[in-house]
């Protein structure tokens, strides 16, 4: 009995710190946000319980749906660019082992730089007077395309997306490179002996072997987009209005700028709900595929 108890105590001992941290910094704040979302509260005065009124107002708020669509556009763009680019660059590094560590470090370097610094850097790049982007367009004879990228409503949102999409490509390069290196070399050599070229080997041998890693990258990309904040806030403050804002920026402005913590908490719960729905659906699709 004593031996069994000691065996139980060991995993509990290791899990307790994680459970404590998760409870204090994640679970309890989520429950508090859920409660605050049912109140009318400015952060100072007494909370007034109003039930689901914040959610009703949120659903009828045009700005919320504009911000929601901005966030969904970011999800789509990151999936279309970050995952394919990360996979392609990782495969190129995998095929060319000479200097691989140097290039891997170069690709991963932007990931460890603070998003604030990246946002400020791209703000300067976009400047209509001193920005490098307009300068390059002028040099290559495309001066007619010069513009103030952060003022034009047609380019504003995508200009804000660009630094975030670029910054985290290196993360997926590293993940995919690790996945490629875990594939048994005998498998690829067998395919080459059977006459498969690099392209055929990539699509018919390598990709099926790294499917689980691909799903992980997709999930990271989606959840990362849903909680985006830094780049939009630093570059434009989410403006003009909320044209370049994401759900995280909209929540921050509502709660801390407009001092409406009840509505801000309702937006927080909506972000969590969307994240959970996408995660559950994605896990179901992944399970169905693996069973198939």
Indicate which CATH number applies to the domain containing 110: 1.10.3720.10
Return d(Cα 172, Cα 213) in angstroms, integer.
10
Per the CB < 8 A criterion, the answer to whether 150 and 235 are in contact is yes
Measured from the Cβ of residue 135, the count of other Cβ atoms closer than 10 Å reads 14
The model's pTM? 0.88
Q: Structurally, how many domains does the chain consist of? A: 1
Whether residue 143 is contained in a domain is answered as yes
- In the predicted model, what is the mean pLDDT of residues 20-47? 90
- Please give the residue that has the higher pLDDT: either 98 or 182: 182
Residues found in the chain: 292
Q: Tens digits of per-residue pLDDT, 68-92?
A: 999 999 999 999 999 999 999 998 8
Return d(Cα 278, Cα 284) in angstroms, integer.
10
Return d(Cα 102, Cα 54) in angstroms, integer.
51
Confidence of residue 145 (pLDDT cuts 50, 70, 90): confident
Whether residue 38 is contained in a domain is answered as no
Return d(Cα 105, Cα 93) in angstroms, integer.
11
Confidence of residue 60 (pLDDT cuts 50, 70, 90): very high
Torsion angle defined by CA atoms of residues 283, 284, 288 and 290, in that order, rounded to the nearest 10 degrees? 20
Whether residue 46 is contained in a domain is answered as no
Q: What is the reported pLDDT for 262?
A: 94
Tell whether the model's pLDDT for residue 4 goes beyond 70: no
Residue 39 bridge partners (DSSP) = 49
- Percent pLDDT > 90 in the chain is 50
Choose the weakest-confidence range: 51-60, 91-100, 234-243. Answer: 91-100
Tell me the residue range of the domain where 277 lies. 63-291
Whether residue 53 is contained in a domain is answered as no
Per the CB < 8 A criterion, the answer to whether 50 and 39 are in contact is yes
Task: Give which of 284, 251, 280 is closest to 54, Cα–Cα.
Answer: 251
Choose the weakest-confidence range: 53-67, 125-139, 230-244. Answer: 125-139
β-pairing verdict for 39-40 and 48-49: antiparallel
Measured from the Cβ of residue 275, the count of other Cβ atoms closer than 10 Å reads 15
| Average pLDDT along the chain | 87
Q: What is the reported pLDDT for 286?
A: 76
Q: What is the reported pLDDT for 192?
A: 72
Whether residue 89 is contained in a domain is answered as yes
Tell whether the model's pLDDT for residue 127 goes beyond 90: no
Tell whether the model's pLDDT for residue 140 goes beyond 60: yes
Q: What φ, ψ does residue 113 adopt, rounded to 5°?
A: -80, 140
Confidence of residue 3 (pLDDT cuts 50, 70, 90): low
Q: Tens digits of per-residue pLDDT, 146-160?
A: 888 888 888 899 999
Which residues have C-beta within 8 Å of that of residue 159, sequence separation ≥ 6?
122, 126, 149, 150, 235
- In the predicted model, what is the mean pLDDT of residues 2-14? 69
Whether residue 26 is contained in a domain is answered as no
249: left (phi over 0), alpha (psi -120 to 50) or beta: alpha
Whether residue 276 is contained in a domain is answered as yes
Whether residue 14 is contained in a domain is answered as no
């Amino acid at each position: 009995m004593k031996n069994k108890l000691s065996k139980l105590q060991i995993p509990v001992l290791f899990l307790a710190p994680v459970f404590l941290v998760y409870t204090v910094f994640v679970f309890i704040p989520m429950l508090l946000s859920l409660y605050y979302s049912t109140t009318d509260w400015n952060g100072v005065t007494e909370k007034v319980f109003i039930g689901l009124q914040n959610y009703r107002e949120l659903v009828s708020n045009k700005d919320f749906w504009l911000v929601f669509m901005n966030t969904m556009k970011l999800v789509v763009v990151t999936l279309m660019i970050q995952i394919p680019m990360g996979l392609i660059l990782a495969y190129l590094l995998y095929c060319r082992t000479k200097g691989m560590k140097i290039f891997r470090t170069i690709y991963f370097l932007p990931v460890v730089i603070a998003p604030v610094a990246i946002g400020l850097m791209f703000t300067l790049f976009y400047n209509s007077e001193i920005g490098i982007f307009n300068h390059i367009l002028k040099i290559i004879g495309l001066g007619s395309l010069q513009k103030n990228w952060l003022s034009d409503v047609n380019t504003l949102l995508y200009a804000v997306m660009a630094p975030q999409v670029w910054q985290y490509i290196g993360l997926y390069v590293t993940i995919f490179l690790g996945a490629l290196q875990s594939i048994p070399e005998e498998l690829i050599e067998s395919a080459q002996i059977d006459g498969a070229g690099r392209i055929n080997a990539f699509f018919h041998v390598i990709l099926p072997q790294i499917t689980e890693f691909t799903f992980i990258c997709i999930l990271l990309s989606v959840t990362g987009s849903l909680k985006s904040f830094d780049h939009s806030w630093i570059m434009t403050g989410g403006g003009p209005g909320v044209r370049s804002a994401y759900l995280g920026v909209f929540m921050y402005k509502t709660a801390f700028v407009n001092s409406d913590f009840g509505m801000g908490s309702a937006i927080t719960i909506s972000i969590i709900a969307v994240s959970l729905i996408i995660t559950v659906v994605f896990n179901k699709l992944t399970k169905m595929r693996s069973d198939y």
